[in-house]
Amino acid sequence: MTNFIDYLLGGFSNGAVIALMALALVLVWRSTRMVNFAQVGQAMFTTYIALTVQQSTGNWVLALVVALLAGSILGVVVFFLVIRPVKNSDTTGAIIATFGVLIALQAGAGMIWGGDPEGFVPPVDNAGLEIGGRIWPVSLYDLLVLAVTAVLVIGLTLLFTKTSLGLSMRASAFNPEVARLSGVRVNRMLITGWAIAGATGAIGGVLIAPFSTISPNSFDILLVFAFTAAVIGGLDSLIGAVTFGIGTGLVISLVSGYSDSGNAPIVALVLLALNLLLKPDGVFGHHGSRSV
């Protein structure tokens, strides 16, 4: 039983990062009805930037902020690259374009920083905390990750439900024409959505970096997990992304604990397949994902 609890606890911070990535995917889906498969590539790239900042200044917070900004800018850039085919209703082309961006980002990162795995030093201790005479699988850093994620999620929720900007963005996502007729500058809202998504992904990338090493391809598996979580939660739903992001993290932790960590992608694949088979709109979603 203690094993179970340990695995569960250990999975929370991982789940938080997956939740952030899933959130980024959902943000993009809500604003432009497309899945940005390059999202993790962007996060990888900005994490490298953060690494460089941290290595030269030793300041983690600064690195995080720089990553955040870089993530927003990169998000907007990618938006402009892939949005045109969508406008011309070439949805297949849009998907392909996001993969093109992913490939380019991975290659670019390899060129700039090299392919060798790099370590990222966490700002606070990453060792298990000792509470009540026992070493728990939760460290100070894990708590920091959870805290940052919570702040981000709460912030985004407030943004969307309470502010005019949030209302404009939601309206632009639900019905761009009516939004325009109401005076909303819809294009700007789309760009804002991608910028926020890029920033969210960037933060997720910086947070997860200390857990292992980063290399241009190290985030690939994260894409699968994040996509799985986002789809299960319903691509429309921010709550779903967060809930199932954390859930996926917990499941992976359990799987890795009880069997081999290499099984995790297989489990994710099976979950994804089951979900798409049984409830393609996701648990909280309502828009059609099935074809005719």
Partner 1 sequence: MLETVDLCVSYGAVKALNGMNLVVPRGEVTAVIGANGAGKSTLMRTLAGLVSPQSGQVLFDGASIAGTKPEDIVRNGLALVPEGRSTIPELTVEENLRLGGLWRSKSDRGASRDIVFDLFPILNERSTMRADTLSGGERQQLAIGRALMSDPKCLLLDEPSLGLAPLIVTQILELVSRLARETNLAVLLVEQNAVTALRVATTGVVLNLGEVVKSGPAAEISSDEELRHAYLGY
Partner 2 sequence: MSKVEGVSKVESVSKVKGLQTFPGNRIIWHALIVGVVWLLLLLLNNNIDPLYSSYLALIAMYATAMFGMTILVGLSGQVSLGNGALMAVGGYVFALTSMNWETVPIFGWQWNAIWSMVFAGLGGVLVGGVVGGLAARLKGPYLAGLTLGLAVGVPAITNRFPELLGGENGLMLTVPYPDGGYAAAGAAASLDPGAEGELESTTDPGGDQNGELATDDQFAELDLSEFDQETDPDAGLATEDLLTEEDFGSGDQLADGDLLTEEDFGSGDQLGLDGTDIGTDIGTDAGTDIGADLNVDSDSLLDGFDSGFIIERWQASMAIAVACIVAFAALNLVRGRQGRVWKAVRDDPIAAAVVGISPSGSKVSAFVVSSLFAALAGAVFAQILSFIGPGAFGLGLSLSLLVGIVLGGRASLLGAILGAILLVWLPELVDGLAGERGWPEQITNNAPNLLYGLLVVAVVLAAPGGVTGTIRSWVDKARGKARSPLS
Are the beta carbons of 68 and 43 closer than 8 angstroms? Answer: no
- Residue 40's nearest CA partner among 55, 28, 32, 58 is 28
Question: Binding of partner 1 at residue 89 (CB under 8 A)?
Answer: no
Distance CA 186, CA 180 (A): 6
Question: Binding of partner 2 at residue 212 (CB under 8 A)?
Answer: no
Question: Binding of partner 2 at residue 291 (CB under 8 A)?
Answer: yes
Q: Give least dist CB 109 to partner 2, A.
A: 8
Q: Which stretch binds partner 1 (CB under 8 A): 102-110, 151-159, 168-176, 212-220?
A: 168-176
> What does the block give as tokens for 123?
């700002």
Q: Which of 34, 51, 202, 252 binds partner 2 (CB under 8 A)?
A: 34
Site string for partner 2, 155-174 (x = CB under 8 A): --------------------
DSSP assignment letter at 123 = S
Q: Give least dist CB 228 to partner 2, A.
A: 7
Q: Give least dist CB 162 to partner 1, A.
A: 11
Question: Binding of partner 1 at residue 162 (CB under 8 A)?
Answer: no
Question: Binding of partner 1 at residue 183 (CB under 8 A)?
Answer: yes
- Residue 35's nearest CA partner among 47, 26, 43 is 26
171 binds, among partner 2, partner 1, none (CB under 5 to 8 A by kind): partner 1
Question: Binding of partner 2 at residue 219 (CB under 8 A)?
Answer: no
Q: What separation in angstroms does the CA of 268 have from each of 15, 22, 177?
A: 13, 14, 37
Q: Taking the mean position of all CA atoms in its chain, how far away is CA 258?
A: 26
Instruction: Let me know if 206 is exposed, middle or buried by CB neighbors in 10 A (0-12, 13-18, 19+).
Output: buried
Q: Which of 156, 221, 239, 283 binds partner 2 (CB under 8 A)?
A: 221
Distance CA 51, CA 230 (A): 27
164 binds, among partner 2, partner 1, none (CB under 5 to 8 A by kind): partner 1
Total number of residues that touch partner 2 (CB under 8 A): 55
